[in-house]
Amino acid sequence: MERICSTTPDEDLIRSLRAGHQDALGILYDRYGHLVFTVALRILNRPDEAEDLTQEVFFSILEKGEFSA
């Protein structure tokens, strides 16, 4: 697999995650972390809890492999 970077398509990042390359998650976080936080904030209306939930979402992805290509 080619080296991943900020322009790597999501599908390739997911393949990298499945292959054990955890740095792909950092790129996905940079790409989608603000969106996840914004949705969580709208639901929870508490910035501290929204931040915690955002981190939990991405940690869950890393730990459980909850993603699809």
pLDDT of residue 9: 96
pLDDT tens, position by position, 8-46? 999 999 999 988 898 999 999 999 999 999 999 999 999
Half-sphere exposure of 21 (CA within 13 A, CB side): 15
Number of other residues whose CB lies within 10 A of the CB of residue 60: 12
Q: Where are the domains of the chain?
A: 10-64
Q: Distance between CA atoms of 31 and 35, rounded to whole angstroms?
A: 8
Q: Read off the pLDDT of each residue in 57-66 and give the average, rounded to a whole number.
A: 83
pLDDT of residue 62: 84
Q: Distance between CA atoms of 67 and 69, rounded to whole angstroms?
A: 7
What pTM was estimated for this model as a whole? 0.84
